[in-house]
Amino acid sequence: MSAKIIDGTSIAQEVRQEIAEEVKKLRDQNIVPGLAVILVGNNQASRRYVTMKTKACKDLGMHSVLIEFPEELTQEELLLKIEELNHDDAIHGILVQLPLPSQIDEIAVIDAISPEKDVDGFHPINIGKMMTGQDTFYPCTPYGVMVMLEKIGFNPEGKHAVIVGRSNIVGKPQGQLLLNQNATVTYCHSKTQDLEAFTKNADLLVVAVGKRNVIRREHVKPGAVVIDVGMNTDDNGKLCGDVDFEGVKEIASYITPVPKGVGPMTITMLLFNTLKSAKNIYSLKLDTLTC
Ligand code: NDP
């Protein structure tokens, strides 16, 4: 058996088209969804990400601003800027690109963003809402995975989902979103003993570790759906995931490639959350994706 490849680029394109149509309807009412992206320092990967995010906004007819600060910015200065954006009526979403320089406390920064504009879905209030099954901004990467699963017709209910990785931005919320849809969820992490014993029982395997080839053919149950969130580089400097794609694709039923898998969905869900925030702020019903 050879797995079907889940084409993240085309799913993202489809969702972005829906978002663009909604943005157009809002613009007809003189409402332009706006995203502010804050970049501190000169991390090249971070710069690439924020450029992609602001460009994607503009491509869909949204307003976006990139606010750049030098590496030596103080926490107080950053909190002041966030407070200003919290009260800026043209801004519906605020994103602070992580990681931040060591003198700045990331938790304090996330806490300072108004939960109504927290389009990354990292604020404790939004995480609490997600945990209690309420509608809120869901973290973009796991939310994007949920949309991908929906698009391939995978219903998590009653399935065993194994999540490898338990970070606050990917692994933990991924498990929670799947639990909310009635999956039975197992989390694995660096202290898990006998990883294969767990992953081998997964109907759905989501891998978010950041280590190349951490999941190989012997870790996967035949017919499982395998979602690779990881982003690493191979020996030739090319982008690759956490899963040995060539080996695992022989036995999985569906698999995401890296690149062109989960990556395009992350930015797409950021755009979706920004649209959702603009609609929330103007008390308009959102009639695109549900999750
Ligand atoms: P973190 O480094 O925050 O978390 C990694 C997780 O993997 C931790 O929970 C860690 O366990 C676990 N882990 C480490 N080694 C092993 C191992 N050998 N076996 C099992 N679990 C292990 O990473 P993120 O969650 O932020 O990101 C994970 C990957 O996803 C990265 O490659 C990142 O670049 C990528 N990513 C991709 C995105 C996209 O849009 N495609 C978006 C966000 C991230 P422990 O908690 O015990 O330390």
Please compute the mean of the pLDDT values over residues 122-127 and round it to a whole number. Answer: 98
pLDDT over 50 (residue 259): yes
3-state SS string for 226-250: EEECCCEECCCCCEECCECHHHHCC
Phi, psi of 234, deg, nearest 5:
-85, -175
For residue 161, what are the β-bridge partners?
185, 204
* Higher local confidence (pLDDT), 281 or 203: 203
Determine the pLDDT at residue 291.
47
Q: Is 170 in the pocket of ligand 1 (CB under 6 A)?
A: yes
Q: Is 164 in the pocket of ligand 1 (CB under 6 A)?
A: yes
What's the pLDDT tens digit per position in 102-111?
999 999 999 9
How many CB atoms sit inside 10 A of residue 41's CB? Answer: 17
Q: Is 234 a catalytic residue?
A: no
Q: Is 188 in the pocket of ligand 1 (CB under 6 A)?
A: yes
All CATH 3.40.50.10860 domain ranges in the chain, comma separated: 24-115
List Cβ neighbours of 76 (8 Å cut-off, separation of 6 or more): none
161 C-alpha vs ligand 1 centroid, how far in Å? 17
Determine the pLDDT at residue 276.
97
What's the pLDDT tens digit per position in 165-197?
999 999 999 999 999 999 999 999 999 999 999
Q: Is 134 a catalytic residue?
A: no
Determine the pLDDT at residue 283.
82
CB 221 within 8 A of CB 203: yes
Stated pTM of the model: 0.96
Fold classification of 24-115 is: Rossmann fold (3.40.50)
Run of H or E including 276: helix 263-281
Please compute the mean of the pLDDT values over residues 23-34 and round it to a whole number. Answer: 96
What's the pLDDT tens digit per position in 204-241?
999 999 999 999 999 999 999 999 999 999 999 999 99
pLDDT over 60 (residue 279): yes
Catalytic residue among 7, 81, 97, 221: 97
All CATH 3.40.50.720 domain ranges in the chain, comma separated: 140-263
* Higher local confidence (pLDDT), 239 or 290: 239
pLDDT over 80 (residue 288): no
Determine the pLDDT at residue 287.
57
Q: Is 171 in the pocket of ligand 1 (CB under 6 A)?
A: yes
Residue with the nearest Cα to atom 35 of ligand 1? 230
Nearest-atom index, ligand 1, CA of 171: 25
Fold classification of 140-263 is: Rossmann fold (3.40.50)
CB 135 within 8 A of CB 279: no
